[in-house]
């Protein structure tokens, strides 16, 4: 090889290394002229409205007479059911759970200075695809509170609905297709920058779709009605 050829070859390799450093942030994972291959990552994101809601509406009572606490909880349960029916929920969307009453003095670690001997709680669970109706009902609890219903479980305040995305499979395929298109566009761009053409696909890893809330959190705790779906797929192409 002549000195000029060596100089040109060194320039091409150096340019390829420099280009790979510049393209990493744009999705380039690996760029190798030696084995004529390029590896890229394709990103796709989409915000999707939840399609199902589960709302556990808890209520509690305390007192010194077992029967009185139990009766108060039963009455509260009827008030909760009446409230939900007034909001348009059907019987099949509501699950009424048995009330539970605990004798605080009957526990192994019981202390005699409790304010009330009996502590009880009940729950009504709403399961519905009418997400907007559930969200609105959760913000309209004033009538129950004014009626004396103590909303919330033991030692905690009202808990809001949990929103789910049950139609995930309907969104999965288009999202993966978008990530694939994104990766190929980047691969074609990088190959053109190197003076090559994109060849057949050698390897592919579609990756896992990650679901988070739209509030910037790292995981979905169910409190957000809008779910952010994100997938990063990896692809390796031959170069020509």
CA distances from 209 to 81, 205, 231 (A): 38, 12, 5
* Average pLDDT, integer, range 64-70: 96
* Residue 29 reports pLDDT greater than 90: no
Q: According to the model, what pLDDT value does residue 20 have?
A: 34
pLDDT in tens, 84-104: 999 999 999 999 999 999 999
* Residue 142 reports pLDDT greater than 60: yes
CA distances from 91 to 118, 126, 209 (A): 30, 10, 35
- Residues 87, 238: Cα–Cα separation, whole Å: 60
On whether the CB atoms of residues 59 and 122 are closer than 8 A, the answer is: yes
The CATH classification number of 53-164 equals: 3.30.70.2970
Q: According to the model, what pLDDT value does residue 159 have?
A: 74
SS3 state at 208:
coil
Q: Strand (E) positions, 19-51?
A: 28-32, 37-49
pTM of the model: 0.77
Q: According to the model, what pLDDT value does residue 111 have?
A: 72
Q: According to the model, what pLDDT value does residue 28 have?
A: 66
Q: According to the model, what pLDDT value does residue 2 have?
A: 38
* Residue 70 reports pLDDT greater than 80: yes
The answer to whether domain 3-49+167-239 has CATH 3.90.870.30 is no
On whether the CB atoms of residues 184 and 195 are closer than 8 A, the answer is: no
pLDDT in tens, 108-125: 776 777 889 999 999 999
In the chain, where the domains are located: 3-49+167-239, 53-164
Q: According to the model, what pLDDT value does residue 32 have?
A: 58
Q: Same fold for the domain at 3-49+167-239 and the one at 53-164?
A: no
pLDDT in tens, 176-229: 999 999 999 999 998 888 888 999 999 999 888 999 988 777 889 899 999 999
pLDDT in tens, 37-66: 899 999 999 999 999 999 999 999 999 999
Name the more confident of 107 and 80.
80
DSSP category for residue 177: H
Q: How confident is the model at residue 68 (pLDDT cuts 50, 70, 90)?
A: very high
pLDDT in tens, 4-25: 233 223 323 333 333 333 333 3
């Amino acid at each position: 090889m002549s000195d000029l050829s060596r100089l040109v070859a060194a320039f091409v390799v150096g340019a390829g290394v420099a280009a790979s450093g510049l393209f990493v942030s744009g999705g380039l994972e690996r760029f190798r002229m030696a084995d004529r291959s390029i590896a890229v990552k394709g990103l796709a994101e989409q915000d999707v409205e939840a399609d199902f809601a589960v709302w556990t509406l808890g209520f509690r009572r305390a007192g010194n007479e077992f029967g009185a606490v139990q009766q108060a909880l039963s009455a509260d349960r009827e008030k909760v059911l009446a409230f939900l029916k007034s909001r348009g929920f059907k019987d099949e969307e509501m699950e009424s759970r048995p009330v539970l009453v605990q004798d605080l003095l009957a526990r192994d670690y019981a202390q005699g200075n409790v304010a009330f001997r009996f502590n009880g709680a009940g729950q009504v669970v709403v399961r519905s695809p009418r997400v907007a109706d559930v969200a609105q009902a959760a913000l309209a609890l004033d009538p129950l509170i004014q009626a004396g219903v103590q909303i919330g479980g033991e030692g905690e305040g009202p808990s809001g609905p949990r929103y789910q995305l049950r139609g995930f499979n309907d969104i999965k395929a288009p999202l993966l297709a978008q990530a694939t298109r994104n990766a190929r566009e980047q691969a074609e761009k990088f190959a053109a920058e190197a003076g090559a053409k994109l060849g057949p696909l050698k390897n592919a890893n579609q990756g896992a779709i990650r679901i988070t809330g739209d509030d910037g959190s790292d995981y979905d705790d169910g409190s957000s009605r809008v779910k952010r779906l994100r997938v990063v797929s990896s692809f390796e192409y031959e170069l020509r």
